[in-house]
Chains A and B, each alone.
Chain A
Amino acid sequence: MKISLNWLKEYIPNIKKNDIFIEELTSLGLEVSSEVKVKKDTVIDIDMTPNRADCLSIIGIARDLSAIYKNKIAYPKAIKFLKLKHSNILAIDKKISSSYSALIIKNIDNSLKTPFFIKNRLDMCGLKTINFVVDVLNYVMLENGQPMHAFDHDKFNGNIKVRFAKNNEKMTALDGQNYTLMKDIPVIADDKKPQAIAGVIGSEESSVTDKTKNIIIESAYFTPNLIRRSSKHFRLQTDASYRFERGVDPLINKYAIGRVLAILTEHTSIEDFSFNHLSAPKVAKHINRSILVKPNLFESSLGIKISDKFILQTLSYLGFNPKKSKKGFSVTIPSHRFDIGIAQDLVEEVARVYGYNNFKPILATNSLNNIKDSTNQFDGYSDLLVARGYNEIISFSFIPKGDQSNHVPKTKIASLVNPISEDKAELRGSMINSILNTCAYNFSRKNNNLRIFESGKTYIKHRDKSIIEENILAGAISGINSESNLKNEQVKLSFFDIKGDLLSILPDVSFEVNADIKYIRKACQAVIKQNNKIIGYCGEPEKSLYSQYSIKNQIFYFELMIDKITPISSLKYKKISIFPKIRRDLTILIDDELIASDIIDAVQRKSFNYMITSKISDIFYNKSNLDIGNKSMTIEFVFQDKSSTLRDDQVNDEMEKIVLLLKNKFKAIVRS
């Protein structure tokens, strides 16, 4: 809210001309976000928190400052209406307005120029000048916080009715828009139709112009929730609705209208006016409520002792009526403080005037140790991937509509009801889209060599409509091993690089064929298992995904279901043999259809004597000296005994058995 500093100062007696209370306002919780010098004045902009409806006026802000300066504020003069007409011209639904005032003025000259100081102040506070009466109403709103509306009496057909609209009633408003109303929208209507959406905006038809002679001025309290609903429904926020939905002092409308009349009469002669008012017996439930604050609450909440005198004085300046008794402080809530509901609220009132920066900090570092840390399941794997050259990425949990339709069934996709845009409309059901999107973005920026990973969630809609969140660690590689390498040492990354990386971070997993994951190419996909349980997948993405993301560079992808991984926790040391190892290589010719794990598994399952490791150490395909459909495979075996030095003949015996197995089982031909 923009306000003029000079205007504000008028209400705090004995304030020094040069006092600029920016710091004080901020320390009270009325944060000054900008200050701009305008001639001899300063316009400050206050970021008002939603609870401080009482400070949406100069008077409200001055009241807060008065607690710091210990000066009662000087309220501006208003005309008092002694004889109240509970006139039959008003028909008010008390649910909408529990206090309603209307002033009818006849024969006013509204072509008068708005007084300069009013025009000037409206301008500084960011309000447009419109015409004499409307400008005065706005001026009084800024001053006291009571929004008011003026109707042209001659265009208002009959009596004032505050009621809910009927379905499909229509109104053209001051902003030129046509509004179609419905039955929960409160309106101000004449005998025929709505002339205003209550507390939000008036109709064009009955609006006041400089030619208007007879005027109805409305000053009312509207139920905040109803105004909020209208404002949200029509997506229309006005200076009036902004205040009404936060809560305008319910007891101020009479005073505000008297203040308007006081200003009007200073500038023109008004002879014919009548004041009408209707109030419910209990205007708003917070008024005159009393809250008991236990004597020790201030100290136990704030940590320091604040004197009774300071507490009583502060609350009084802020408009409360506090009384000290044995039971503590009994504090009566004023009509302008909607936000005060419990004792703790009064603690804040005292604390903010005392100054938050005047409390001394105490650091308590005690540890309770009664809860298990549940956040770091990714940390170890992330560190290892980073050490192997991966860059961590973080992408949006939402992805464009339709992007995952090929691999996530429609019924399982969790969509946003109110997405911010079509390209952020669905929650990701897998990580592949996020990863490929990041690859594509980097390729488009000529970052062709990538190793990336993301630890994040996927979201799948369950049959009962609940949404299952799963923690996934996913990543991809593309390009060459290292840009910094000399040309002849640069190697294109392959599936086996990603496999090697995964085995480095998870030494106890195995890779098996037949993953059956839709978004990974059949010809290059693996299922990753730990203790025979599936924990992830890896391979090369489907061709259709390459085209979906316009990717030309080859990519290898992995994903791990973090919650399914069992960290290696219990480990027993095995005795190391001190006797020498013997290494043997065996090269065999086998059918191309056989896969490496067929051979190795068969050898390992047999558990040959002294054999401690066996692995594929070389492989050749399609060499001209091989029969078509065959490949040559070299297997490296290492033998070692626990209790003595192995002899060659012992190893030879085992090698013969191995060769026999391979011949019988795989029709292998041993090559020399």
Chain B
Amino acid sequence: MPKDHTSLISDLEEKLKECSSSHDIANIKSQYLGKSGIITNKFGSLKDAALDERKELGRSLNILKTQIQNLIAAKLIEIQDVKNDNKVDITLPGKNISTGSKHPVSITINGITSILAKYGFTSVSGVEVEDEFHNFEALNIPETHPARDMHDTFYVSDDKLLRTHTSSVQIRSMLSNKAPLKIMTPGKVYRCDSDPTHSPMFHQIEGLYIDKNVNFCHLKGVLISFITEFFGKDMEIRFRPSYFPFTEPSAELDIKFKGKWLEVLGCGMVHPNVLSNVKIDTKKYSGFAFGLGIERLAMLKYDIVDLRMFYENDISFLSQFKGLK
């Protein structure tokens, strides 16, 4: 390209930068391409060139003309785009936003079961209306046992009750599947109890592992890993002896939370009487069990202080859990 063409182009580019309206561009267009425009004049002076140069000159003039036309057209589009109504205000509200969410209890159950599933536990469910055998007797809780005071039971009839724990599902599972067994039982449970820290209905999950050579160290292994994974960080954890009729030794697991020890779950080695009740050979098999309250864990994890929030089902409360599975 001849030198004067190059400078012509850069000159035009400079001028176009200054343009802010289609009117400005029209002026420039006529300056270059109008009847007496720079390019038009150049074509006009072609006839003055030597015959042998004329062809080459014409060709490069045509290229120059196309370049100028393109530059002007591009600038025009740019200016029109800015001006045009086509510009989208992307800050306006999005359409048909859905605020669906899972209930924090479900989210917590899912969180727990997906961790325990990795440790080999299979999820099992069962009936909520139970009998005394599966809810109490098989679990080594005889009628006269003071431990029944810990379970204020709702009765539906003389012999039917609302299960006070999901241990009844463990009993049914052991009776039908025998050992070895590695199950978890999430679900609703009921106790005749109602105050700001107790609800007549709440959710529990229990775990049960029966196999050869299962001992207390295995129980601790599962629970420490579980708590760490559930809260997503190393927690200060302690085990302390406790009492449940269906485990021996029995323990409770506390975590240090905001400087205070909080009880999170009960656990222990399955009581030999329980294994005998479901016809599992205690000479061959042993096992551990643990159980925890879902709402309590959800309260700790999400900083919920009032248990009643879970069952009021206020959309403003529920919607806060969107995005969690």
Asked if A pairs with B, the answer is yes
Provide a sorted-by-A list of 22 A–B residue pairs whose CB atoms are within 8 angstroms. Answer: A228-B146, A301-B215, A301-B216, A303-B217, A347-B248, A356-B238, A357-B239, A362-B221, A363-B218, A364-B119, A365-B120, A386-B102, A389-B99, A391-B101, A393-B318, A397-B201, A416-B162, A420-B154, A467-B156, A482-B97, A485-B95, A486-B92
Does residue A359 face the partner (Cβ distance < 8 Å to B)? yes
B100-157 residues at the A interface, CB under 8 angstroms: 100-103, 105-106, 113, 118-120, 122-125, 127-129, 144, 146-147, 149-150, 154-157
Does residue A345 face the partner (Cβ distance < 8 Å to B)? yes
Cross-interface CB contact of A357 among B96, B105, B238, cutoff 8 Å: B238
Q: What are the residues of chain A within 8 A of B123 when measuring CB–CB?
A: 373-376
Q: What are the residues of chain A within 8 A of B98 when measuring CB–CB?
A: 387-389, 451, 482
Q: What are the residues of chain A within 8 A of B188 when measuring CB–CB?
A: 397, 456-457
Does residue A88 face the partner (Cβ distance < 8 Å to B)? no
Q: Mark B231-264, 1 if CB is under 8 A from A, else 0.
A: 0000000111111000011111000000000000
Q: Is the CB of B201 within 8 A of A447?
A: no
Cross-interface CB contact of A27 among B157, B223, B240, cutoff 8 Å: B240
Interface size on B (CB < 8 Å)? Answer: 92
Interface of B with A (CB < 8 Å)? 92-103, 105-106, 113, 118-120, 122-125, 127-129, 144, 146-147, 149-150, 154-158, 160, 162, 173, 177, 180-183, 186-188, 190, 192-194, 200-201, 209, 211, 213-218, 220-225, 238-243, 248-252, 269, 271-273, 286, 310-316, 318-319, 325
Bound-state Cα–Cα, A363 to B310, Å: 33
Cross-interface CB contact of A356 among B147, B222, B251, cutoff 8 Å: B251
Q: Is the CB of A394 within 8 A of B311?
A: yes
Cross-interface CB contact of B100 among A364, A376, A451, cutoff 8 Å: A451
Q: Is the CB of A300 within 8 A of B97?
A: no
Q: Is the CB of A484 within 8 A of B286?
A: no
Q: Mark A359-385, 1 if CB is under 8 A from B, else 0.
A: 111111111111111111000001101
Q: Is the CB of B215 within 8 A of A394?
A: no
Which of A228, A370, A385 has the most chain B CB within a 10 Å cutoff? A370
Does residue A52 face the partner (Cβ distance < 8 Å to B)? yes
Residue of A nearest to B125 (CB): A375
Interface of A with B (CB < 8 Å)? 26-29, 31, 49-52, 225, 228, 245-246, 300-304, 342, 344-345, 347-348, 351-352, 356-357, 359-376, 382-383, 385-398, 414-421, 424, 427, 438, 441-442, 445, 447, 450-452, 456-457, 459, 465-467, 469, 481-486, 489
Q: Is the CB of B241 within 8 A of A348?
A: yes
Q: What are the residues of chain B within 8 A of A31 when measuring CB–CB?
A: 240, 242, 252
Instruction: State whether A450 and B248 are in contact (beta carbons under 8 Å apart), knowing that A31-B240, A365-B119 are contacts in the complex.
Output: no
Residue of B nearest to A427 (CB): B156
Instruction: State whether A452 and B124 are in contact (beta carbons under 8 Å apart), knowing that A50-B150, A361-B221, A418-B154 are contacts in the complex.
Output: no
Cross-interface CB contact of A363 among B103, B222, B249, cutoff 8 Å: B222
Which of A357, A364, A441, A456 has the most chain B CB within a 10 Å cutoff? A364
Residue of A nearest to B127 (CB): A469
Cross-interface CB contact of A469 among B118, B128, B215, B222, cutoff 8 Å: B128
A481 to chain B minimum Cβ distance, whole angstroms, is 6
Cross-interface CB contact of B241 among A351, A361, A385, cutoff 8 Å: A351
Q: Is the CB of A398 within 8 A of B201?
A: yes
Q: What are the residues of chain A within 8 A of B318 when measuring CB–CB?
A: 391-393
Q: What are the residues of chain A within 8 A of B215 when measuring CB–CB?
A: 300-303
Instruction: State whether A414 and B217 are in contact (beta carbons under 8 Å apart), knowing that A29-B241, A396-B200, A445-B314 are contacts in the complex.
Output: no
Q: Which 4 A-B pairs have the closest CB atoms?
A: A389-B98, A29-B241, A303-B217, A348-B249
B312 to chain A minimum Cβ distance, whole angstroms, is 6
